[in-house]
């Protein structure tokens, strides 16, 4: 089974906004930051203006460990976006972190063939710098 050639992919670069800037600043430093509600303690991702549990607007960003399980995945066989053509087929994963149950984060499963993506498989975050400003949280198997 061949590995995806991510080095040849020219990814679209995320553009931080007021809601997501802290998340991207953390990723650049190698920290995965999730929103935490100061009213009820709920951790959530992606960033939102209100708590998804209690609708409080008293939210901050705190580090999470970055280990969890694959909640869902899909395998991309077609390159609708030609920039990803060198990587197909590849696995996109949705991950539920151990210390943020219910919050889901998307990424690619790196370092192994796409056939290694399975629901419930242990993964950990790794950080893939795209340029000086943006680093993308991604995932690899946590053996």
Asked if 103 and 48 count as a contact pair (C-beta separation under 8 A), the reply is no
- The full length of the chain comes to 143
Assigned token pair, 42:
């709920």
Does position 92 bind Zn ion by CB under 5 A?
no
Does position 48 bind Zn ion by CB under 5 A?
no
Q: How far apart are CA 140 and CA 143, in angstroms?
A: 9
Question: What is the dihedral angle through the alpha carbons of 53, 34, 141, 93, rounded to the nearest 10 degrees?
Answer: 60
- Determine whether 93 is exposed, middle or buried from the number of CB atoms within 10 Å of its CB (0-12, 13-18, 19+): buried
Does position 13 bind Zn ion by CB under 5 A?
no
Does position 97 bind Zn ion by CB under 5 A?
no
Among 8, 19, 54, 85, binds Zn ion (CB under 5 A): 54
Between 37 and 105, whose beta carbon lies closer to Zn ion?
37
Between 97 and 109, whose beta carbon lies closer to Zn ion?
97
Among 27, 32, 37, 64, binds Zn ion (CB under 5 A): 37
CB of 55 to Zn ion, least distance (A): 7
Does position 40 bind Zn ion by CB under 5 A?
yes
Which residues of this chain interact with Zn ion, rule CB under 5 A? 37, 39-40, 42, 51, 53-54, 56
């Amino acid at each position: 089974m061949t590995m995806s050639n991510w080095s040849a992919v020219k990814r679209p670069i995320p553009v931080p906004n007021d809601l997501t800037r802290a998340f991207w600043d953390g990723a650049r430093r190698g920290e995965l930051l999730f929103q935490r509600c100061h009213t009820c303690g709920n951790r959530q991702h992606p960033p939102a203006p209100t708590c998804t549990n209690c609708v409080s607007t008293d939210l901050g960003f705190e580090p999470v460990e970055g280990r969890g399980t694959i909640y869902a995945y899909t395998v991309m066989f077609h390159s609708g976006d030609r920039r990803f053509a060198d990587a197909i087929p590849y696995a996109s994963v949705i991950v539920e972190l151990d210390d943020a149950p219910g919050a889901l984060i998307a990424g690619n499963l790196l370092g192994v063939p796409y056939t290694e993506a399975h629901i419930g498989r242990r993964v950990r975050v790794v950080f893939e710098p795209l340029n000086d400003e943006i680093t993308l949280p991604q995932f690899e198997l946590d053996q």
